[in-house]
Structure 1
Amino acid sequence: MSVNIPDKGRIFAKKSSFYPSSCVTEILLALLGIFVFIQLFYYLFVFSKLMRHDPPTAAYAGAPEGVSVLVCAWNELENLRELLPLLNAQEYPLFEIVVLDDRSQDGTEDFLKEHADQWRHVRFIRIDKEFPHITAKKYALTVGMKHARYPLALMTDADCRPIGTDWIASMVGQLGPDKEIVLGFSPYYKEKGLLNWFIRCETFYTAIQYLSLARAGWPYMGVGRNLMYRTRLFFEHKGFYQHKHILGGDDDLFMNQAATRTNTSINLDPESFVYSIPKTTWSDWLRQKRRHLSVGNYYQRGNKLRLGLLSGSHTGTWFVGIATLLWGLFSHDTLLLQILGAVFALRWLVQLIVLGGINSRLDRTVNWLSFIGMDIAFFIYYVGMSGLILSRKKKVLWR
């Protein structure tokens, strides 16, 4: 009886042609699983808490704490004409509006001298000097803190507009015996064009991150367009001393050093929202984003890790997803393509549910039909911005 022994060379050739294909598929699926798991963890266990957040009712008993609203202005004459009447009309018993006129040359000083008295809550401070050891806006805010008459400081910008007359009252209402910081929401006005759409999407998603992480006990930033904290806290931490030379960071870097798990509150009350005028050119927006993203290099290590996991898993999901798609098409692996489609469908479904729920709490600043488009746009954004912040830095103004 004879036994046919297969040729060893044929066996080796068969294994060598099969094994690499199987190995590549397993690696791609493993990486895709890791990245998507991180993404779903953030959406289901961190972000989703904003949908259930129940803020305290804005109220003040007895004598209310006084509030100093600080507005930095550098050549903002036209914006101040619109903003100051809105701020002066706020329905709160005890507050002042301090306009910090930082070397404006557009007639702001003359306007304030002539018209500030017509608003009972408005006063202004003219800043004529610039110092090399501290950036201009941080110096202006420091001057405002030193001259504030009241124990609560509420920051906004000249190109912002409160949504109603209860903005101050709503922000104060989120304070408590152990709360010293209130993080507010500041969306951008809706206008036509791709740039405006992306600015609103990016602002919405950034707000989700800093508000939900603060609610989870990891506060790391606020936005200077709508941010309140006690002046005492500012001086206890020596103001902006630790980062006085860094352009930007008057809001997020100070929050990095002063905000804690117990002393920070968030505000999702629609009466507290402050709308802002968006950039209208890509060059202005890129200049602004370069400044914002470069400040992130100075965040605390834990904050950088949490944000890095979120953005890294986002880009990783797309890079591996594209690689899996190409490999599935090349190897004619229909099962792999079906798995890829199912994974992305699950991820998009979770995004639609969670982002849609949060969007309803944040004044529907983004159309829910945009969520999948946002997902793709943020992948391009993260990749592009990573190259932008690594490129040669250019000098930009505090504005």
Structure 2
Amino acid sequence: MPLIHWENILFYLLIATTVVQLFYYLYFFARLSFFKPAQKTQSQTHPVSVIICARDEDENLARNLPGVLVQQYHTSYEVVVVNDNSLDDSKYILEELRKTFKNLHIVELTQEAKLIAGKKYPLSIGIREAKHEVLLLTDADCVPATENWIDKMQDGYTSGIDLVIGYGAYHKLPGFLNKLIRFETVHSAIQYFSYALAGLPYMGVGRNLSYKKSLFLNNKGFSSINHLPGGDDDLFINKVATKHNTAIIFDAEASTLSVPKKTWKEWRKQKRRHYTTAKYYKPVHKFLLSLYAGSQFIFYPLAAATAIWFDWRIAAAIIGLRFISQLFVFYKPMKKLGESDLFGWLLFFDLWLFFYYLLFAPSLFRKAKKTW
């Protein structure tokens, strides 16, 4: 009798976990599958200030900055590069580029902000130096995917919108690690885009993010998170984003491209650093994100246990239902964001997420290092 009792418990737990997963797929992620930007009665372009912070990024600046400076944008725009105490040749590369591109504005920082962790101080300086109300943020190791990046991103500003979230992709390179990194990136993007569409925006990525200067100043910048090493993108957005003031730009032409980490060690270090800020999210966001991750984490162990001790046919049917739902809600977003080559790996990466959460969950409880 006790054995039958535990068999039933396993089955009901699997059913409950699957219902939770289907809720996220059909309530949140399906919004992105069917998303179509509202048709505008008139088009308006805004002057834009692109902000880039760099520290010892001479090679990245030489490689990527021209892609920002040659954007096809017919309204005024400037590129503000904050050179934060660089010891390499960044200063000379920027000076050479300024000879050709008059819209390049260079801010040289020669002193450290000892009481402000991460890159929030140089970013704050860049924002205050910006001439225009609409700010577009990216990193020195990023290049716009197209010459229409600025135009596409600023197109998200309609009446009442103060913040526009974009997609920061990674270059497609050979190797399994590259596929893994890109899947994790698009999986995260599907989440933060979908939550924004559901009226619960919780983060953006500093590689491709836009907001108004007045939004930054009215919220006293990063003052509430200056003591934290990270958070200049996700924690700031978590604080100021609302269902009324936030828009998404869901378009591969509006994305940026970065070179992903080349080794497992570097990638783990990067991800662990990113996850140290999630503990500071609003309670509703922490709950929803934890419930989704937790239900993913226990799904396959429960499915395996149900197959062994209850009925493998029922377990297979539940796995199939969930996977079909995944295919339905992931296909269009992955295609739209230029990641369709990963679609054939979806089942494998879904299994991999069990080990992913096992690997990075402890990072939520670590204290972050004060570097950027």
Q: Judge same fold: TM > 0.5, yes or no.
A: yes
Please list the CA deviations of residues 346-382 of structure 1 after superposition, one character each: whole Å capped at 9, or x if unmatched.
1111112211122121113542111001111111101
**Which residue is equivalent to 1:372?**
347
Structure 2: distance between partners of 1:220 and 1:59: 29
296, 317, 320: which one aligns with 1:345: 320
% of aligned pairs identical? Answer: 38
Matched, 1:277 2:252: no
SS in 1 for 2:49: strand
Shift of 1:242: 0.7
**Which residue is equivalent to 1:130?**
112
Structure 2: distance between partners of 1:395 and 1:248: 9
**Which residue is equivalent to 1:144?**
126
TM-score by length of structure 1 reads 0.89
Does the 8 Å CA contact 2:117/2:228 hold for their aligned counterparts? yes
Structure 2: distance between partners of 1:59 and 1:202: 37
Shift of 1:114: 3.1
Structure 1: distance between partners of 2:190 and 2:267: 20
Number of residue pairs the alignment of both structures matches: 371
Structure 1: distance between partners of 2:113 and 2:370: 16
Shift of 1:55: 1.6
**Which residue is equivalent to 1:167?**
149
Please list the CA deviations of residues 2-34 of structure 1 after superposition, one character each: whole Å capped at 9, or x if unmatched.
xxxxxxxxxxxxxxxxx2122111100111011
TM-score by length of structure 2 reads 0.95
Larger C-alpha radius of gyration, 1 or 2? 1
114, 131, 136: which one aligns with 1:154: 136
Shift of 1:393: 4.4
**Which residue is equivalent to 2:169?**
187
**Which residue is equivalent to 1:382?**
357
Structure 2: distance between partners of 1:388 and 1:251: 18
Matched, 1:358 2:339: no
Instruction: Report the aligned-residue RMSD.
Output: 1.7
Structure 1: distance between partners of 2:87 and 2:340: 34
Shift of 1:43: 0.8
Distance 1:365 1:228, change over 3 A: farther
Shift of 1:61: 4.8
Greater CA deviation, 107-116 or 67-76? 107-116
Structure 1: distance between partners of 2:339 and 2:195: 20
Matched letter for residue 354 of structure 2 = F
Does the 8 Å CA contact 2:229/2:368 hold for their aligned counterparts? no
SS in 2 for 1:246: coil
Distance 1:59 1:148, change over 3 A: farther
Distance 1:76 1:56, change over 3 A: farther
Matched, 1:79 2:60: yes
Greater CA deviation, 70-79 or 314-323? 314-323
**Which residue is equivalent to 2:47?**
66
Does the 8 Å CA contact 1:88/1:120 hold for their aligned counterparts? no
Does the 8 Å CA contact 2:118/2:228 hold for their aligned counterparts? no
Shift of 1:182: 0.5
Structure 1: distance between partners of 2:371 and 2:12: 45
Does the 8 Å CA contact 2:304/2:315 hold for their aligned counterparts? no
Please list the CA deviations of residues 58-83 of structure 1 after superposition, one character each: whole Å capped at 9, or x if unmatched.
89756x42111001111111111122
Distance 1:61 1:194, change over 3 A: closer
Gaps of at least 5 residues in structure 1 are 1-18, 329-335
240, 256, 263: which one aligns with 1:258: 240
Shift of 1:384: 1.5
Matched, 1:49 2:31: yes
Shift of 1:47: 0.3
Please list the CA deviations of residues 268-310 of structure 1 after superposition, one character each: whole Å capped at 9, or x if unmatched.
1232111111111222211111111110000000000110111
**Which residue is equivalent to 1:3?**
none
Shift of 1:115: 2.9
Matched letter for residue 345 of structure 2 = S
91, 94, 113: which one aligns with 1:109: 91
SS in 1 for 2:115: coil
SS in 1 for 2:21: helix
Does the 8 Å CA contact 1:167/1:273 hold for their aligned counterparts? yes
Matched, 1:310 2:284: no
Gaps of at least 5 residues in structure 2 are none
Shift of 1:110: 1.8
Structure 1: distance between partners of 2:76 and 2:2: 72
Shift of 1:325: 3.4
Structure 2: distance between partners of 1:283 and 1:317: 27
Structure 2: distance between partners of 1:134 and 1:170: 33
Structure 1: distance between partners of 2:207 and 2:231: 13
Matched, 1:321 2:303: yes
